[in-house]
Amino acid sequence: MAVHMSEIVLGAMLFGTRLTEQESFAVLDRFVERGGTWIDTANCYSYWLDPAGQDGQSEEVLGRWLKARPGLRDRVRIATKAGHGQVNGQPEGLSAAAVRSAAEQSLRRLGVEHIDLYWTHVEDRSVPLEETVGALGELHAAGVVGRLGVSNHPAWRVAQARDTARRLGVEPYTALQLRHSYLQPRVGAAIPETAHRFAWPETLDYVRTEPGLDLWAYTPLMNGAYVRDDRLADAFDHPGTARKRAALSEVARDLGVNANQVVLAWLLGGDPAAWPIVGASRLEWIDEAMDAAELKLDAEAWRRLDVQL
């Protein structure tokens, strides 16, 4: 059971790299105008798009945006991540020292006094869970971070980490961020984004039955694949995809919306409900996503979308 009602989250990965500062500000402004609250970024965004391999651009843009709009900090919530920030061309990892250093740098770049949701971005099995969980608990106890989240970890490691937090008497993870959408790839199929972890049925079952744990879904719109056939990766080429796309098209047509909006409504109202992270780079895409947040699927729509693979 989720501890918070799910909502659309703005993904800020491309701010300061693929999107200019002016473009980023415009997207952020429209998101807030439409009632958006949560903005998700990471300390590593986006080193792979920077000619020098530098990270932190997204956080810096968010920091300048907040500084240019006094009072807005009270209306928005910032989520950022540690673990994949670059140190001499390598991920920083999740040692206690790395987690503390990453938090300090993120606070500086964002220009804020606390982070509302702090994620461990990727696994680091070279570090004992007790060390990472303990460091995160210290940051929470000090008021540096609010909620704690875990991204791109298997469910069994999340369960271990939550048990470890309880044993240590510190704040546990209360959010899990994975790649999740209406379409699913073939099990075992290779995808271009090798670091991505999917929310498989057993993961969804874990979240559904684990009190106090929310599911956040990245790449919910499949990089445009729901509205452009050429965007669908080969890993999704299987009979279940064809059946699901047909059902999706029918429901979208009957509701007078597009497939993206049905997918977002499906995620928001699902079991478990998910928090879709939408990396919109155009104002009209912000409007599309926020309109989807108000879309309610009736029982017949849910029945039609429940296509068995």
C-alpha–C-alpha distance, residues 129 and 68, integer Å: 39
The DSSP code sequence of 156-196 is: HHHHHHHHHHHHHTSPPP-EEEEE--SS-PPTT---S-TT-
Determine phi and psi for 256, rounding to 5 degrees: 75, 30
CA angle, 172 as apex, 170 and 173 as ends, to 5°?
150
Q: Specify the residue for token string 């910032």.
A: 78
Contact between residue 278 and residue 270 where contact means Cβ atoms under 8 Å apart: no
**Residue 113: how many CB atoms within 10 A of its CB?**
9
CA 206 from chain centre, in angstroms, equals: 18
Which residues participate in catalysis according to the annotation?
Answer: 45
Determine phi and psi for 36, rounding to 5 degrees: -70, 150
First to last CA, the chain: 25
Contact between residue 149 and residue 116 where contact means Cβ atoms under 8 Å apart: no
Contact between residue 110 and residue 62 where contact means Cβ atoms under 8 Å apart: yes
C-alpha–C-alpha distance, residues 84 and 91, integer Å: 5
